[in-house]
Amino acid sequence: MEVGKDPELLKQFKNQNKVLVTKGKSSFVPESERVGERERFELHHIKRVTDGGAVYDIDNLRVVTPKHHIEIHRGNK
């Protein structure tokens, strides 16, 4: 299911992000969650691909902010 095609999910986004999501793009995170040029939500693989984690398995993916993604990889989950 595409988030951009689900009215119930889409109404949770601000207008600028609605446009991005309906185009299949990642939406912007709050400013406090940005790191440098990284300003959109990112995908994190729970089991690293290099460790045999599936690239496209939805159960192996989490949507995270750049700030949280960095914390995960630093070991500050």
Q: Which tens digit of pLDDT belongs to each residue from 12-64?
A: 999 999 999 999 999 999 999 999 999 999 999 999 999 999 999 999 999 99
What is the per-residue pLDDT for 34? 98
Q: Which contacts qualify for 28-32: CB closer than 8 Å, 24 or more apart?
A: 29/65, 29/66, 29/67, 30/65, 32/67
For the domain spanning 3-74, the CATH number is 3.90.540.10
- The pTM score is 0.82
Mean pLDDT score, 72-77? 84
Q: What is the 3-state secondary structure (H, E, C) of the chain?
A: CCHHHCHHHHCCCCHHHHHHHHCCCCCECCHHHCECCECECEEEECCCHHHCCCCCCHHHEEEECHHHHHHHHHCCC
